[in-house]
Structure 1
């Protein structure tokens, strides 16, 4: 169980684990970028990586293996002094706590380095287990330093558990996973409130500095938007030029009503762009606009299209995206809108039906991949 006077220290541990999570994410990807510079040097990577990893393990033996049985279990059992066994620090005995804390700090900071070297050299590894081990060391180090001040006595085992959850929440960007996973594997269900506090601080602060987790950051650098709306992503792939329908018959501003009636008789559409001789879009004229005027035969030669045309509800530019076009069609309650180039030259119409048909085709093709 936990006591109320330790809550301020939980609040302090959260930002500490957040900053440490940022360090782990950036270090891991720095090494990943460094290794990618030499894609063909396979045996050289293994040789250099193995030598570097061996040197780190020689200096800091707790780095060996996944670390849970060699580090986390000892900390949870309250046997932190056993971490120095087999290391250069063991010659100083168990009486000097500062050598222990130095080993803990160095192991904590180099755990991500060891993981990065292992993965970069072609070995098996990942940041999930490393986050747990480094987080446990972080929580223990914080609690032991506070206890050494003599101001308060913190339960170090509790902070080992909270450190694991905080760093995991920050590195993986999964606070709920961290809460329930750590509570399950450690049996620390009594620490649910402290777990929620530490993981919330860690996640929110880490996300402020690193918007993407250690797993999604590399995908983002390759141009994959992991948080993109699937529908918007599909719409963004559509090329507006390929959606332009050019079978709308244009008419001139000087076309008479009688000539317009003849155009209506042979047209398959009920909307007509009014285009000048230079190709500029002047307006549109729809059958519904002139339905009453069509039967006024006395004015077939006197009324011109320029007197009947109206501006379109909106104009699309050839540089617009399909997503914007669909949004404009919805907002204007239109089934089709004219498209012009940056100079105002008429290109054709884009219809809602064309966009949705093309979207459906993209959806089917994606499902078959």
Structure 2
């Protein structure tokens, strides 16, 4: 009650004293501040737990701790989600897109903190996934819940949701431009000035907080300029990046869908964790995010790959090292998929960067062994990360600016553009949508695009016509004349006693023979027809519009738990869609 009273007073004050444009900017600062704090807390927790895990492993024979540490982390994550969180956590960027498209950008409050706890447990104990998706989910939850507190419109909540995601990405990587572009390309799907300003403010605020409280840079590197002689090999890297992006999306997506599905969640967690631990024991480079090794090889220390490896002596042979690097390229996404599929919390963002980096290393190191030309290994590692991200996310701008910002590689803009563009084109050719949208389209019938977003910003409840006149199928047509005389509707539901729909009477279809004396003694059962389609009460508005277009009708019955509740018309749907467009344009005009 106190929270509601406070919300009411603040809303009354801000409506009197502030324009909506200024208020949304103030909110974006708050979102950026809290998002930056969340990112700092997550980085600190994970790095602390990783240090503890590595310390434990270093005191055991052959790092045998790697076999059980990931299982412990995933088990604790699953236990928290089940016992404490009651399965209310919404994992993955795909869930954010669902909330934008179907739930008016509303995200449950518990997502403000649950991702910080579960992802730190998963990755801190060695789970081979990334922190980017959890911090994006946390930032999005911050923006969404702040919007709900101030009773903002769905469009404004979407902007704050995206601002929170931008702040999270920017704070993790210290890359404000990439944070903004990520939200624009992945979450919103379009680049406009009205959305750009709040996102930029939140992103910059997140970076300031991160630098002030946690000054550690993710990668310490200033890349060298590129040379024309390396251009053909950048093209080759672009081709490989496109193909590996398809591999990441397919394999990672399938494994993330769940492993050992017939077993209960705790068995899945332990079994998946042990399998992951065995993989990490052979390939310790897959432990956690993998940024420790990635930073070292970016700075030219390829021998770091021999650390903790059971067959370190074999890696002295350059060709064995080349084979080892190739295996890491394919194994990282498998390890990440097992981590998430067995119940851990994390994302494929960091594994994608890891895979792209080692792909770039594979190309440069392999070419250098031939003696044909000497390629700058660090440059190819950096550009490989961008290529993989561009292909997997279908977000080339995010990939280019993220890698340029975190590596200081602005001198590599041309190679970054070439590799990212080639990878994006190849990936887009084989998969029209990125890995997030592919699953949503297949499983939830949700489509990208601004039209679908605006359609799904409202629920069917607001446009269902509940003023109907039910008829019984045993009613005679003669008695139906009396009902018809009292109403101007042209569609009547035929209902059972329990409220289920048996059919409909369409006046337009029977108008010519309705007053024929020959059918006066007939019953409603003789003239009713089955509706061409039933609309479910919880169905997205975009799906309903697709249905109207597919079967070319103007009215359809709506059911809730198999009980008829009313009709929905295409004209009402279009009118509501028009209202949403006008409302969004008014909100956008505030920033112009």
The TM-score with structure 1 as length reference comes to 0.65
Do 2:360 and 2:383's aligned partners in 1 also have CA atoms closer than 8 Å?
yes
1:51 Cα deviation from its structure 2 partner = 1.4
Partner secondary structure for residue 277 of structure 1: helix
Aligned position for 2:38: none
1:5 Cα deviation from its structure 2 partner = 2.1
For the structure 1 residues 234 and 195, does the alpha-carbon distance in structure 2 shift closer, same or farther, using more than 3 Å as the test? same
Cα shift readout 1:32-80 (whole Å, capped 9, x = no counterpart): 33427336332x11221121111111111111121111x2112111111
2:312 aligned with 1:90: yes
- Cα separation, 2, equivalents of 1:137 and 1:319: 54
Aligned position for 2:453: 230
Do 1:243 and 1:355's aligned partners in 2 also have CA atoms closer than 8 Å?
no
1:84 Cα deviation from its structure 2 partner = 1.4
- Cα separation, 1, equivalents of 2:335 and 2:392: 16
Aligned position for 2:18: none
Aligned position for 2:421: 200
2:462 aligned with 1:209: no
Aligned position for 1:79: 301
Q: Give the CA RMSD over aligned residues.
A: 4.1
- Cα separation, 2, equivalents of 1:25 and 1:190: 30
For the structure 1 residues 112 and 55, does the alpha-carbon distance in structure 2 shift closer, same or farther, using more than 3 Å as the test? same
**Comparing both structures, which one devotes a greater share of its residues to helix?**
2
Larger radius of gyration: 1
Partner secondary structure for residue 205 of structure 1: helix
For the structure 1 residues 324 and 236, does the alpha-carbon distance in structure 2 shift closer, same or farther, using more than 3 Å as the test? farther
Do 2:554 and 2:570's aligned partners in 1 also have CA atoms closer than 8 Å?
no
Aligned position for 2:289: 66
Cα shift readout 1:262-314 (whole Å, capped 9, x = no counterpart): xxxxx99xxxx89533689xxxxxxxxxxxxxxxxxxxxxxxxxxxxxxxxxx
Match for 1:35 among 253, 259, 262? 259
- Structure 2: which 5+ residue stretches go unaligned? 1-224, 470-486, 489-507, 517-530, 534-542, 556-567, 582-592
Do 1:162 and 1:194's aligned partners in 2 also have CA atoms closer than 8 Å?
yes
For the structure 1 residues 51 and 230, does the alpha-carbon distance in structure 2 shift closer, same or farther, using more than 3 Å as the test? closer
1:323 Cα deviation from its structure 2 partner = 5.2
Q: In the comparison of the two structures, how many residue pairs are matched?
A: 286
Do 2:315 and 2:321's aligned partners in 1 also have CA atoms closer than 8 Å?
no
Do 1:140 and 1:159's aligned partners in 2 also have CA atoms closer than 8 Å?
yes
For the structure 1 residues 168 and 244, does the alpha-carbon distance in structure 2 shift closer, same or farther, using more than 3 Å as the test? same
Aligned position for 2:240: 16
Aligned position for 1:261: none
Do 1:84 and 1:100's aligned partners in 2 also have CA atoms closer than 8 Å?
no
For the structure 1 residues 361 and 39, does the alpha-carbon distance in structure 2 shift closer, same or farther, using more than 3 Å as the test? farther
Match for 1:276 among 512, 534, 539? 512
1:152 Cα deviation from its structure 2 partner = 1.9
